[in-house]
Chains A and B, each alone.
Chain A
Amino acid sequence: MSPSPDARVEALLRDLGSRLRRGGSHEAARQASGGRRHATGLADVDALIGGGFPAGRLCEIAGPLSSGRTSLALALLAQATRAGEWTALVDAADALDPASAQAAGVALERVLWVRPQDAQQAARASARLLELRGFALIALDLAPTRAQSPLPDAAWQRLARAAAASGTSLVVLAPRRIAGAHSALSLETRRARAHWSGTPALLDGIEIEAEVTRRREGPARVAAVRLRAASRAA
Chain B
Amino acid sequence: MAPSVGSSRIACLLVPDLPRAAALRAHPDLAGRPFAVCAGAGPRAEIASASEEAIRLGVRRGHTVAEARSLCASLAVHVASPALEEATRAALLDAALSCSPRAELEPRCAGAYAGEAAVCADASGVTPIFGGEAGFATALTQRAAALGLPARVAVASSRSTARIAARRIAGDGETLLLAPGDEAEFLAPLPIDVLDPDDALAERLTRFGVHTVRDLLRLPRASLAARLGPAAVALGLLARGHCALPPPGAPAEALVAEALDLEHPAERLEPLLFALQALLSRLLARLEVRHLACDELALSLELAGGGRDARRIGVSAPTRELRVLVRLVAQSLESRPPHAAVQCARLETRGVPLRRDQLDLFRPPGPAPGALAPALAELASLCGAARVGAPAVADDHHPDAHALREFGPASRDAAPPEPAGTFLLALRALRPAAAAEVRLRAGHPIWIRSAVCSGRVLRSAGPWRTTGGWWSREGRFAFDHFDVQTEDGTVARLRYDHVTRGWQIDGVYD
Known: A66-B510, A71-B510, A115-B387. A42 touches B452 (CB 8 A): no
On whether the beta carbons of B366 and A107 are closer than 8 Å, the reply is no
On whether the beta carbons of B510 and A110 are closer than 8 Å, the reply is no
A102 at the interface (CB under 8 A from B): yes
A155 at the interface (CB under 8 A from B): no
B483 at the interface (CB under 8 A from A): yes
A97 at the interface (CB under 8 A from B): yes
Shortest CB distance A198–B (Å)? 9
On whether the beta carbons of A105 and B490 are closer than 8 Å, the reply is no
**Chain B interface category by residue count:** 35 or more
Please report the total number of A residues contacting B with Cβ < 8 Å: 74
Binary contact track B398-438/A, C-beta < 8 Å → 1, others 0 = 00001111010001001011111111111111110000000
Shortest CB distance B369–A (Å)? 10
Chain A, residue nearest B429 (CB): A97
Chain A, residue nearest B409 (CB): A86
Q: Which residues of B lie under 8 Å from residue A133 when comparing CB positions?
A: 367-368, 371
Q: Which residues of A lie under 8 Å from residue B363 when comparing CB positions?
A: 84
Interface of A is mostly: mixed
Known: A105-B419, A230-B425. A111 touches B510 (CB 8 A): no
On whether the beta carbons of A67 and B425 are closer than 8 Å, the reply is no
Chain B, residue nearest A96 (CB): B391
Q: Which residues of B lie under 8 Å from residue A68 when comparing CB positions?
A: 425, 510
Binary contact track A114-127/B, C-beta < 8 Å → 1, others 0 = 11110001001100
On whether the beta carbons of A75 and B388 are closer than 8 Å, the reply is no
Known: A109-B405, A203-B509. A71 touches B429 (CB 8 A): no
Shortest CB distance A106–B (Å)? 7
> Measured between alpha carbons, how far is A114 from B375 in the docked complex, in Å?
12
Q: Which residues of B lie under 8 Å from residue A84 when comparing CB positions?
A: 360, 362-364, 416
On whether the beta carbons of B490 and A66 are closer than 8 Å, the reply is yes
On whether the beta carbons of B453 and A124 are closer than 8 Å, the reply is no
On whether the beta carbons of A78 and B491 are closer than 8 Å, the reply is no
Q: Which residues of B lie under 8 Å from residue A78 when comparing CB positions?
A: 417, 419-420
On whether the beta carbons of A70 and B510 are closer than 8 Å, the reply is yes
Binary contact track A86-99/B, C-beta < 8 Å → 1, others 0 = 10010001111111
A139 at the interface (CB under 8 A from B): no
On whether the beta carbons of B425 and A201 are closer than 8 Å, the reply is no
Shortest CB distance B240–A (Å)? 64
Chain B, residue nearest A227 (CB): B423
> Measured between alpha carbons, how far is A95 from B452 in the docked complex, in Å?
13
> Measured between alpha carbons, how far is A41 from B460 in the docked complex, in Å?
31
Of A97, A109, A112, A234, which one neighbours B422 at CB under 8 angstroms?
A234
> Measured between alpha carbons, how far is A9 from B400 in the docked complex, in Å?
64
> Measured between alpha carbons, how far is A83 from B56 in the docked complex, in Å?
71
On whether the beta carbons of B431 and A95 are closer than 8 Å, the reply is yes
A31 at the interface (CB under 8 A from B): no
Shortest CB distance B293–A (Å)? 20
On whether the beta carbons of B402 and A98 are closer than 8 Å, the reply is yes
Given A85-B366, A128-B379, A202-B483, output 15 extra A-B contacts at Cβ < 8 Å: A70-B426, A86-B364, A97-B402, A100-B427, A109-B407, A112-B390, A113-B388, A113-B404, A114-B379, A116-B382, A124-B382, A132-B367, A196-B459, A228-B423, A230-B423
**B interface residue numbers (CB < 8 A to A):** 360, 362-368, 371-372, 375-376, 378-379, 382-384, 387-394, 402-405, 407, 411, 414, 416-431, 452-453, 459-461, 483, 485, 489-492, 507-510
